[in-house]
Amino acid sequence: MMMGYGSGFGIFGLVINFLLIVGVIYLVIKWVRGDGNSRFIDNTPERILDERFARGEITEEEYYRMKSILRD
> Would you say 58 and 66 are in contact if contact means Cβ atoms under 8 Å apart?
yes
The number of distinct structural domains making up the chain is: 2
Range of the structural domain that residue 55 is part of: 42-72
How far is residue 49's CA from residue 63's CA, in Å, rounded to a whole number?
7
Q: Within a domain: residue 25?
A: yes
Is this structure's pTM higher than 0.75? no
Residues 26 and 46 grouped into a single domain: no
The pLDDT of residue 67: 93
Q: Which residues of the chain have pLDDT under 50?
A: 1
Q: Within a domain: residue 65?
A: yes
The pLDDT of residue 49: 93
